[in-house]
Structure 1
Amino acid sequence: MGRARHFPAHTLPDPPFRAPSRPPQSTPRVPNVGPSARPIPLRPVRSPPRRPATDSPNMRSNLVESSLESAPAPSQGAPGGPDRDLSRQGLAAEVGRTDPQAMSSAPRILLCDHRGNAARIGPEALHEAGFDLETSPTLRATLASLARERPDAILLMALARPGTVELSALEHARTGGEQEAPVPILVIAPEGDREAAIRADRLLRSGLWDVVPEGTGAEEIGLRLRRLMDFAQLEGEMRELRHRASHDDRTDLLRPRSFEARLIEHYSAAQRHKHEMALVMIDLDRFGSINKLHDHTVGDWLIERVGEVIRAALRVEDVAGRLGGDEFAVILPYTKKIDAAGVVKRLAEEIAKLSGTPPGAKGHIDVGASIGFETFDGTDLDSVRTLRSHAERALRVAKVQGGNRGVYYRNLEE
């Protein structure tokens, strides 16, 4: 028989409620199987909060016992009565502390039971282990569920050979945006299928996957799911940090160095494949006077709105960046000069629509932009530096001509 655990009196929570004693928790390690196998990080167990020290342990014990004896009897509507919230959240609120694990919701697992054999893994045991299971009977239902709500992980039951259709469809559906990590997926391979990991590695290119053989116990499946979710959280944090490092905080456009790298890439691709592209340079008119006459919050508001206008005008393949305080640039790949001129006209019109009285302004402000652009057909320029210098010269000419207009560099040579 194990010895009974005793808590010192100074570790008890505030009366009249006693904190339940919980034995130290430990998480067993999982055998390293699959490319993503790593030890599961252990979460530290929090000890109960300490109370202020008194004269002696006996005095502390007597004080606690006397306060418990003098506590009022439970009554209707009072703490401890019939209306008392006995949930973990309610108890945590009563003693004035918050348990993060108690307040957090259960991980949502999308159980892809496309062949009706989910009972072999013991879904009840996974539910008791703290997972919220949503069963999907068909691949179509799985894809619809992924489009409707992003789960914390995917559990694909008994992958049939070769299973390429399922894996390809799930790989496309589980990937999120640039800042989101893909939804982790745990594949249950049929018994005796030794090539399941090879197929998964070939088709699940976004990573965050693992394979276990059919017949694996629910406890190990739960541990692997939690490990994959930990990796997914870490991957999401890393992606967010990379995004912040390369994108401007106020406009979410590329920073100068990142934009220059993308410009070199697109110029090299246009030169290699002989396709057309355009570079657009944008500078706001009278932005310095706006900051002088009004509060700087008005200037910040204007920069944010201009960033929104530029993002709304972009295609998927277009690239935009903020080069300075009120300077922006846009790369338009696969774009002829007539189409680039249409984009420039639309940008100038949409930026001019921002004129008015923004929040915090002392009066009406006139907003406009000077825009210069240059094109490249893959052969008619000698370097990316020449492309950029031509666009900047066209921008300066637009400024000299009064602003709120677009100028094409090739028209200056005629």
Structure 2
Amino acid sequence: MYHPRVADASESPPRVLVAEDDRVTRELVGGLLRGHGFAVELYETASPIAERVTRGDVDLVILDVVLPGMNGLQACRLIKSVAGDGFVPVILVTSKSDTESRVEGLRIGADDYVVKPFDERELLARVNAMLRIKRGHDEVVRAKRRLEELAVRDELTGLFNFRYLHSRIHEEFKRAQRHREPLACAMVDVDHFKRVNDGHGHDVGDALLVEVAERLKGALRETDVVTRYGGDEFLVMLPSTHFSGAITVAERIWDAVRSRPVRAMAGRDRVELNATISMGLALFPSRDVGSSKDLLRAADQALYQAKREGRDRICVFQHQGYIYRPVR
């Protein structure tokens, strides 16, 4: 799979691969490009080129059409196929009389060509033109990635957001049903959060949410997913996790949040908050949980019960009426 290099002005010089079987021409092109600040890799044949492109960090490929083994047209077709959505421009080098190769090369995806014997200024101009096009493409890719990230990330905490949650929990629930695997879900609420906002201001409240989010992430396994559900609530998904495993993770989360004070600035004053959380835990498979909506509803009901019983504890929906509070 091709991993596109998204160029940036602050990054290393553009990397150009050159496949040319004539040693004199190969060294001439390599020296010319290096002299103008490019990072250059030279090859006698086209065979290694496609594999090299798949490893990424390639900005441009220059291919002689006539090469031993795999010719330039075949290599161009292969490069374009492995690049996928990425863009690696290809310049073909042909003879003046080889119109057929130029037409065929452009038809299969080559981006430009230069004719032998070439003028050095023309080659540099075409290389720079292709790199400008690539930079424009890469800027679009970066902007698209930023938009995609903003669509699924909470701006304050950096966690996945409500939109991502509903898509992901539906997928996880369907997978659990299909493979007959357990799925646990924990709703987390920061205790007395309104008091913090009212007493110290929203900046301190935001700082508390950010720190709680970090502690949640630090307490989870790689396979677990934590999202900001909204306000002062978070939701944790624990794929392939049975009751005992879910309790273990929930205890770890509960302890991580309350283990040490949260420090924040209220104007010029430093404040310390002893944060605690209430958690509602629900599991699939279990009675009354037949969909991802049921699972969320069960976790929410368990959270409500934990708060009603005094907060700073874990309530498990599967055990109706049972409030579980870890012992330090």
Please give the range of the TM-score, normalised by the shorter of the 2 chains: 0.7 to 0.9
- Higher gyration radius (CA): 1
1:384 is aligned to 2:292: yes
Question: 1:269: how far off?
Answer: 2.0
Q: Which amino acid aligns with 1:401?
A: E
Residue segments in structure 1 that go unaligned for 5+ positions in a row: 1-103, 138-156, 175-182
Q: What is the total number of aligned residue pairs between the two structures? A: 277
Equivalent-residue separation in structure 1 for 2:263 and 2:201 (angstroms): 13
Is contact 1:390-1:409 (8 Å) kept? yes
Q: Which residue of 2 aligns with 1:110?
A: 15
Q: How does 1:384-403 map to 2 (within 5 A)?
A: 384-403=292-311
Equivalent-residue separation in structure 2 for 1:242 and 1:219 (angstroms): 35
String of CA shifts for 1:322-358, please: whole Å, max 9, x gaps. Answer: 1211011122223333222222111111111352543
Question: 1:248: how far off?
Answer: 1.1
1:301 is aligned to 2:180: no
1:187 is aligned to 2:61: yes
1:320 is aligned to 2:194: no
String of CA shifts for 1:76-125, please: whole Å, max 9, x gaps. Answer: xxxxxxxxxxxxxxxxxxxxxxxxxxxx7697223457999753535435
Cα distance, 1:199–1:295 mapped onto 2, change above 3 Å = same
Q: Which residue of 2 aligns with 1:143?
A: none
Point out the more displaced range, 230-239 or 212-221: 212-221
1:202 is aligned to 2:81: yes
TM-score calculated relative to the size of structure 1: 0.59
Cα distance, 1:252–1:303 mapped onto 2, change above 3 Å = same
Equivalent-residue separation in structure 1 for 2:137 and 2:35 (angstroms): 21
Q: Which amino acid aligns with 1:385?
A: K
For the residue of structure 2 that corresponds to 1:412, the secondary structure is coil
Question: 1:314: how far off?
Answer: 4.1
Is contact 1:251-1:303 (8 Å) kept? yes
Equivalent-residue separation in structure 2 for 1:413 and 1:189 (angstroms): 72
Q: Which residue of 1 aligns with 2:68?
A: none
Point out the more displaced range, 329-338 or 207-216: 207-216
Flag the structure with higher helix content: 2
For the residue of structure 2 that corresponds to 1:358, the secondary structure is strand
Q: How does 1:9-408 map to 2 (within 5 A)?
A: 108-111=13-16, 119-125=27-33, 127-128=35-36, 132-135=37-40, 160-161=46-47, 163=49, 165-168=51-54, 170=55, 174=56, 185-191=59-65, 192-214=71-93, 216=114, 217-360=123-266, 363-377=271-285, 381-408=289-316
Equivalent-residue separation in structure 1 for 2:139 and 2:58 (angstroms): 10
Is contact 2:220-2:253 (8 Å) kept? no
TM-score calculated relative to the size of structure 2: 0.72
Is contact 1:270-1:378 (8 Å) kept? no
Question: 1:167: how far off?
Answer: 3.5
For the aligned residues, what is the CA RMSD?
3.2
Is contact 2:204-2:264 (8 Å) kept? yes
Equivalent-residue separation in structure 1 for 2:286 and 2:39 (angstroms): 52
Question: 1:194: how far off?
Answer: 2.2
Question: Identity over the aligned pairs, expressed in percent?
Answer: 25
Q: Which amino acid aligns with 1:340?
A: A
Equivalent-residue separation in structure 1 for 2:284 and 2:45 (angstroms): 50
